[in-house]
Structures are given as C-alpha cells and as structure tokens.
Amino acid sequence: MQKTISPIDGSVYVELEWATPAVIDETLDRARTAQRAWRNTSVEERARTLTRFCAEFASQRDEIARELTWQMGRPIRYSPNEVNGTLERARHMIAIAPQALADIDAGPKEHFTRFIRREPLGVVLTIAAWNYPYLIAVNSVVPALMAGNAVILKHSAQTPLCAERFASCLSKAGLPEGVFQTLHLTHADTDKVIRDPRIDFVAFTGSVAGGHAVQRAASERFIGVGLELGGCDPVYVRHDADIAHAIENVVDGAYFNSGQSCCGLQRIYVHERIYDPFVEGFIDLTRKYVLGNPLDESTTLGPVVRTAAADTIRQQIAASIQAGARPAIDESVFPVSKPGTPYLAPQVLLDVDHSMLVMREEIFGPVAGLMKVSSDEQAIALMNDTRYGLTAAIWTRDQQAALSIGDRIDTGTWFMNRCDHLDPALAWVGVKNSGRGCTLSVVGYEHLTRPKSFHLRTRT
C-alpha cells in the first residue's frame, strides 16, 4: 500500500495500491496496442484532443490547487499558478507541434523526392517528481502525445493524485483508451518497467542518484533517456544592478516553494560595491516571510515536503555554520519553525566559501549563501565551480555584459534580471550533473521522435 503523508499535519492524505505484476503487464500491452493506432491520427486531431484536455484541466483549477497543497505543502495562495503554468506549456507545445513535426525537405534533386520524417518513438515512460508535480510531468506528457507516442506516467508517491488528474482530464478530452495510463510503482518495479522492451523512452526528473539508477536500468537497451536532475544554481548581482529589483527577485528565487526547486537560487555572488546594501535588504525581506499552514491564505512559506527532509536541511545548515558560515536569521523570528516538524525557517548564510555544503551541494530547502566578489572574472570562476549546471542568472543593466558573461557560464539556461522560470519556447536542458536531454521548445520534440529518411527515385 502506497501512503501519502501530508506535510501540513502529518496525516495520511491518500492511500493507493501498488500496481501488481499483472496490472503492469496489462498496462504495457495496452499502451503498445493503443500507440499503433494513435500514431496514425493526424497532428491536427491530436491537437484538438489535447486542447480539450487543457480546457478540462483549467475547469478543475481550484480542486487541483487544493489537492496539490495537501500533497506537497505549497501555500494555497500560489498553488493555482502551477495550473496556469501547466496550461501555458501545454498550449505552447500543442501550437508548435505542426512546425516541429513537419517533414524536412532535403531540397530539389532531379528525379528524386527526398525528405526526413519525424516518427514517434513508441511508448514513453514519464517518471515525475513531487516538487512541481504538474509542471514537470507536462514537459514530456503533452509533447510525447502530440508526437504520436503513448505515455505511461509514474508519479512520485508524494503526489500520486496528480497522475490521476492527468488521466481523468485526458479521458474526458476523448483521448483513446490506452494512449495515456498511470502506474503507481515501487522503486524495484520502476526498474523492471524501464528494462521492459515495451518501453521506448524514459523521461525522468529527480535526484542525481535517481538519474544514475534510471540510466543503469536502461543501459542494456538502446533507448533514449531524458534526465532532469539536481542543481545548485548561482546568481551574480553585478555592480550596476538595480539593487531593489535584484533583492526582490533573488529572495523569491531562493525561497519560493520553500527552496524545493532544482532551478532555485542557492549560491548568490554579490559585487563588493553593492554588497552591504544588498545583504541588508535581502535579510530584511527574508524576515518578512510568513511561515505557517499552507492552507492559510496569509502564508507565504509552507513546510518542506517531510520531516526527514527538514532534518537533513538542518544538518546541512549546521555543517556550513560549523565550517565558518554565519547565520543571519534567528529561527525564533519564525515560531512555527521547530525541530521534528517539516516547518523550517528560511536561512541566509554569510561569510561563506566553496568549502561549505551550502555552496557545493543541492540543499533543496529555504537556504541561501551570500558571497562577496570583486570582479566579473571572480564571479564567473565561482559560478562555474560546481558539478551542476541547470540555470544561472545575472542582475545587471548592461545586456552586452550579460551576454558576454553568459557565454562563459556552464549552464543550460542563462537569465538576465530574472530567475527560476521556464519559457516553453526555450529548450529546458542541463549540463554536468544536472542531466542530459531536452524538453520544451521545438528542440524538445527531437527527443520524443526519431528521424526517418525517405529517398524516392522516379524512373524516367
């Protein structure tokens, strides 16, 4: 039995049965059969079906938002935004599908017709994480379906009802039976499904360790694997930044979703010319968060996902402090923050360096380290001094400087004067231990299809 414990109050929010071997086998067979028919539907028909899905999903916004808050603890004032973001991404990927999936003309050649066609891979297994349960899943689910694949969604045990919402809305939209299905799987059964020859691609979002496990399971087969993994993302607040704007956005980028974001800001490098006013404003704004029950509309910072996660984050903070970091936030300012609970105060660590955990590892909690730098060169070196590379950001008034510095940063996405955002028109991709493969944009479709060349000679 799979139990979802709500971080709000420690209650069991939902219980679901793990899929049995017979159910798994039937699901895989059904997906294989359904995909053969679905691939023969036109892109236009697929778009009509997925557009109806969007309408159905939008109609359930309030129920989805409340359910999401109960499952993973995000404040209810923010949860509807995930519905909005999911719809934005889905609608964009639907809109660009005709362009992204169109045949590629190889050019004129006498007596020949030549083109490249993008064919669906077959059955896509999406393994989604709990921290942005709809936004993560939609990145592969909608484009995979638009490309003519069948999809099986294995969602996190923390957010299983998100998978059920996808299934319900797609069914009501008229998607043929078997084209999209869900499985609630143990780790051992997930490994077996990845190894099954009826799976043609795996889209995984999770930890670096989880990514290695997925890659090992798929390594004996010649199938593609998309991996969106961890991050320890940096930001550089340059000497010419708009300080007030930078403070507002960087604080939000560090603590939104209680810091449980793979592209949240954790390493903050500030030019020495503006370091003092930036730090003062950063600390002041951080103290204004309202930590509490996420069902309360006044709450701006909810609990982390579980008590064990909070305990680990506290240990990582303590290790950084023991190494010389100076905490700027007195936890007593947030009386709800208590050991033995998932409620955790935001923390700002000063006097940090790269020997400390906060500047080396993904903490996945409401913690940020602030470090003074003296030049662009020093900032670039420090930003690249990591085994991760999902996103990085700069605050500056000089766009040319931002472009020049961005060219030298090892990252999948480079932001100027914003952070922690996915534009569905741009490729979402990581480097180093942040993963491989790509979702979103026209490029994302390349990973969910295979090229097939047509070389037709006309006899004369």
Euclidean distance between CA atoms 7 and 304, whole angstroms: 7
Instruction: Based on the residue annotation, tell me whether 362 is a catalytic residue of this protein.
Output: no
Euclidean distance between CA atoms 302 and 381, whole angstroms: 34
Euclidean distance between CA atoms 264 and 267, whole angstroms: 9
Euclidean distance between CA atoms 101 and 389, whole angstroms: 29
Number of Cβ atoms within 10 Å of the Cβ of 220: 9
Name 415's bridge partners. 393
Q: Considering 262, 263, 419, 438, which one is annotated as catalytic?
A: 262
Give, rounded to a whole angstrom, the gap between the first and last alpha carbons of the chain.
68
Please state whether beta strands 12-16 and 2-5 pair in parallel, antiparallel, or not at all (unpaired): antiparallel
Instruction: Based on the residue annotation, tell me whether 262 is a catalytic residue of this protein.
Output: yes
Q: What are phi and psi of 133, to 5 degrees?
A: -65, -30
Task: Decide: 94 and 51 in contact? Cβ < 8 Å.
Answer: yes
Q: Considering 228, 263, 362, 419, which one is annotated as catalytic?
A: 228
Q: Which residues of 158-186 are buried (b: 16+ CB within 10 A; e: fewer)?
A: bbbbbbbbbeebbeebebeebbbbbbbbe
Task: Decide: 286 and 253 in contact? Cβ < 8 Å.
Answer: no
Task: Decide: 358 and 349 in contact? Cβ < 8 Å.
Answer: yes
Smallest Cα–Cα separation from 401: which of 284, 274, 239? 239
C-alpha distances in angstroms, 433 versus 99, 130, 227, 334, 394? Answer: 31, 20, 10, 34, 21
Number of Cβ atoms within 10 Å of the Cβ of 414: 16
| Encoded amino acid at 314, one letter | R
Instruction: Show the tokens assigned to 372.
Output: 């003074």
Euclidean distance between CA atoms 31 and 13, whole angstroms: 30
- Give the residue numbers annotated as catalytic, written as ranges: 228, 262
